[in-house]
Amino acid sequence: MTGVWQSKTTAQVHPYQKVWQDAQKVNWQVHDLINPTRCLDFTKPFLPESLVRTEDIECLNPSEQLTLNHIRGCSYLHLFVLVEQFIIPMVLEQVKRLGFDDIFATQALLGFAEEEGKHIHLFQEFATAFEAGFGYPCDRMESTAAMAAKILEHHPLSVLLLTLQFEWTTQSHYLESVRNNDEEDLDLCFCDLLRCHWLEEAQHTKLDTLLAYDLAARLGTDVVELAIEDYLKLVHLLHDALMEQVNLDLVNLERAVDRRFTDSERQEILEVQQQAYRWTFLCSGLTHSNFIRVLGEISPSGKAKVIELAKGWS
């Protein structure tokens, strides 16, 4: 009978199994990206101009613009620690919801959670390297753990949609602003951070999409619409936190460049950075075609609300 037996997944690979198999092909370690012999280069920008928009601020000279770019890099690390901290419990809760009958889903989702833990380690190690090289302390918004706990109080589908939004955000950051960017001489370590984060989040977008479709189908239309409203509350919650970080970035900049800005200068910096933060961390995900497609299939009215919200912030 040799050669007769055939796995039930041979002809058609299980969707969770396919994602799990693809995830095994990605193999990078935090210590390869940042270590005592591979440090951040503070003579170069960490983030591309499309994400930070520091060159739009006319009251800053090039040296001050570079310093603000570095501060934005620090804030980027802090924000994504927050994002990973609410994603891990969300994923583990979905494992419990699905049970263990589907072993492919279990493997894929547990791998998902493990990779998000690696991402926290990655961002924390970069934050430590930043603190060692920058020379000045940087104030940051409230405890990431406390903020993550607030987010997790919301409906599971709303947290799942927020997760998917951020995962498409990371795709946009690397693919549209870093890969093939030959015009800006960016720090190679930070580029590698964005690249490796993108590689694993590319698989996570697929898993979150599968989860979102499954969960929405089980909830029914009325509950889905309530979850969409809850998701929009989360977007506004993060917006307020980001605007708080803009103010803290200004304090950090004044400290680092040893300069007290005038009221008009402060206003210019805040206006440019508020818009930059909205695009970088909210609108780039809210307007991503793949995110909009999933949202439209789950809730056409929710899609319309998100498009309108993003339009107001763009």
Neighbours of 290 (CB within 10 A): 15
pTM for the full predicted model: 0.91
Measured distance CA(202)–CA(199) in Å, rounded:
5
DSSP characters over 141-184: SS-HHHHHHHHHTS-HHHHHHHHHHHHHHHHHHHHHHTTT--SS
Give me the pLDDT at residue 5, please.
Answer: 31
Which residue bears the tokens 């991402």? 119
The single-letter DSSP state of residue 43 is T
DSSP characters over 208-262: HHHHHHHHHHHH-HHHHHHHHHHHHHHHHHHHHHHHHHHHHHHHHHHHHHT-PPP
Which CA distances in Å does 41 have to 37, 178, 180, 243?
12, 17, 20, 28
Give bridge partners of residue 35 from the DSSP assignment: 38
Which residue bears the tokens 């000279």? 61
Measured distance CA(57)–CA(246) in Å, rounded:
14
Mean of pLDDT over the chain: 91
Angle value at C-alpha 12, between 11 and 15, nearest 5 degrees: 155
List pLDDT tens digits, range 27-69: 889 999 999 999 999 999 999 999 999 999 999 999 999 999 9
For the record, the structure tokens of 306 come out as 């998100």
Q: Looking at the predicted structure, is the pLDDT value of residue 257 above 50?
A: yes
- 13: pLDDT confidence band, cut at 50, 70 and 90? low
Measured distance CA(114)–CA(239) in Å, rounded:
28
Give me the pLDDT at residue 11, please.
Answer: 41
DSSP characters over 54-68: GGG-TTS-HHHHHHH
Which residue bears the tokens 């800006």? 184
List the domains of the chain with CATH numbers: 58-313 (1.10.620)
Count the residues in the chain. 314
The single-letter DSSP state of residue 281 is I
- 12: pLDDT confidence band, cut at 50, 70 and 90? low
Q: Mean of the pLDDT values across residues 192-209? A: 92
Q: Looking at the predicted structure, is the pLDDT value of residue 9 above 50?
A: no
List pLDDT tens digits, range 106-127: 999 999 999 999 999 999 999 9
Give me the pLDDT at residue 7, please.
Answer: 37
Which CA distances in Å does 256 have to 39, 136, 176, 246, 252?
20, 6, 30, 15, 6
List pLDDT tens digits, range 85-108: 999 999 999 998 888 888 888 999
Q: Looking at the predicted structure, is the pLDDT value of residue 140 above 50?
A: yes
In 3-state terms, what secondary structure has residue 201?
helix
Measured distance CA(241)–CA(238) in Å, rounded:
5
List pLDDT tens digits, range 210-256: 999 999 999 989 999 999 999 999 999 999 999 999 999 999 999 99
